[in-house]
Structure 1
Amino acid sequence: MAMGLDARCIEGVFSRAFAAEFNTRLVGGADEPLYQPPTSGAPAEIYYCRDYARSALHEVAHWCVAGSRRRRFSDYGYWYTADGRDTQQQAAFFCVEAKPQALESFFCAAAGIAFAPSLDNLSLEIPAAMLEQFQNQLRREQARFNNHGLPFRAARFAQALRKARA
């Protein structure tokens, strides 16, 4: 099996697939992920952590989930609480993460990178029942995409990733 794509290659794949049509670029090197909408003179920017390929794929998945209205707002207009969430905040995090992580799993497969669900919270002992519920929700989203196909931008990106690995 060929090696998986690295973060810089993923940036190039994203640029070729979306820069012109969606005025958006993928940018590594950030301490924390962030989406910034376009301004009058600059494209939208999707920042991912450092040079982590998985972070790049995850942030693209969020971009693929966000509709045109959401893409007008910083971080798509959603809340985000970094590592250190309590149980209630973690449950809310899991509710919004199943769909993007399901897309991320397809991107990882296309890019030749191992996928594992991200809990994004190292300081909380997550109850087993909560973790199981999230994993089940993630599997349902993956099955839904398997049965009905990926949304347009996600399908385009997955195809471009596969092509880059060929």
Structure 2
Amino acid sequence: MDFDPQVDQLIECFNTLFLESLNTELVRGDGEPIYLPADADYPHHRIIFAHGFFASALHEIAHWCVAGPKRRQLEDFGYWYKPDGRTEEEQAEFERVEVSPQAYEWILTVSAGRKFHFSADNLSQGLGASDSFKEAVLNRVHQLLDNGMNPRLKALSEALRTLYAVEPLSVDQFQLESYSCAS
């Protein structure tokens, strides 16, 4: 695995914003990603992302940004998740619940000056992100840009744009023709 120095920058940026204010830290993990709320053994909520991958960190942060206060008290925010190997019906449900997280991830990815890839997260079935899913994510991004982002997403987007010298976000930066699908 190649070392990405921007991962450490992202961890520092996130933790500077949210460790003290929301008792949440971003942690490089060795295995599968997971969100763990604070407990008797560990005083901080932890967003643990997979294998030091920048994109995994942004995806897990996006889920955290979507989750409300009650969900942030639950392991993995209490979300349903069925791993790789979902049926078409299960994949449709996955896409339904992933619209906002992937829209948030797209915003954070562009804020960091990187290229976003849709994730269908179902490699063994060969089901990539559907066109309707990509359209729904794009529409959600446009809604967020037009109507305003929640405070956590906005603060991190602004911090990333400052860190990576990225211009202010506009709807023109978010077009389906510009982005690919990672199955």
Give the TM-score taking structure 1 as reference length: 0.91
Measured in 1, the distance between the counterparts of 2:142 and 2:111 equals 17
Residue equivalent to 1:152: 151
Matched residue SS, 2:123: coil
| Higher relative contact order (Cα pairs below 8 Å, separated by 6+ residues) | 1
Residue equivalent to 1:164: 163
Could you list the per-position Cα deviations for residues 32-85 of structure 1 after superposition, in whole angstroms to 9, with x for gaps in the alignment? 110001114420111111111011011101000000000010000111111111
Asked if structure 2 preserves the Cα contact closer than 8 Å seen for 1:19 and 1:25, the reply is: yes
Give the superposition deviation at 1:126. Answer: 2.5
Equivalent residues, number: 161
Structure 2 stretches of 5 or more lacking a match?
Answer: 166-183
Measured in 1, the distance between the counterparts of 2:30 and 2:108 equals 21
Structure 1 stretches of 5 or more lacking a match?
Answer: none
Give the superposition deviation at 1:29. Answer: 2.4
Matched residue SS, 2:48: strand
Matched residue SS, 1:30: coil
Asked if structure 2 preserves the Cα contact closer than 8 Å seen for 1:5 and 1:165, the reply is: no
Asked if structure 2 preserves the Cα contact closer than 8 Å seen for 1:105 and 1:115, the reply is: yes
Residue equivalent to 2:112: 111
Give the superposition deviation at 1:5. Answer: 7.0
- Where does structure 1 differ by over 2 angstroms across 4 or more consecutive aligned residues? none
Measured in 2, the distance between the counterparts of 1:54 and 1:125 equals 21
Percent identical: 36
